Amino acid sequence: MPNLTPEAAQARINRIQALYREWERLLPELEAAQEQWQHAMRLMHEMSDFYDREYMPLHQAIENGLPVSLATEGEYSIMSEDALWNAFQQQYDLSWTWLRAATRELDPQNRLRPDAAEASGQAEAT
């Protein structure tokens, strides 16, 4: 940094300090998001197990007159089949999005180089 003025140095220090402060504020939310993700995956695994083992026999029993209520609180009924398939697809898409984002950050070619990570993300988006 040739010809660095005290004002320019202070401005840069202030900028990076603000970024660090923002990171510190975000960190608990990011950690909570990881916990939410793990919880969501447990939900998905249970729904997937239900679909693989129980859905068809239960669906057939309902078709044959099993008197159950399929009323919901506003969401689609899991017995519509599309509801679970859509949830599985959403989980799949979101998993790949998170994996790609993490891989970009872990890739040594992109590590700590936001310009490279952003360019990589733009290339994938197209």
Rounded to whole angstroms, the Cα distance separating 80 from 70 reads 9
What's the pTM value of the predicted model, to 2 decimals?
A: 0.73
pLDDT digits (tens, 9 = 90+) for 58-69: 999 999 999 999
Percent of the chain surpassing pLDDT 90: 79
Over 60: is that where the pLDDT of 117 sits?
Answer: no
Terminal Cα distance for the chain, rounded: 36
Rounded to whole angstroms, the Cα distance separating 115 from 88 reads 33
Q: How confident is the model at residue 119 (pLDDT cuts 50, 70, 90)?
A: low
Could you tell me the two tokens for 85? 């398939």
At 126 the pLDDT is 41
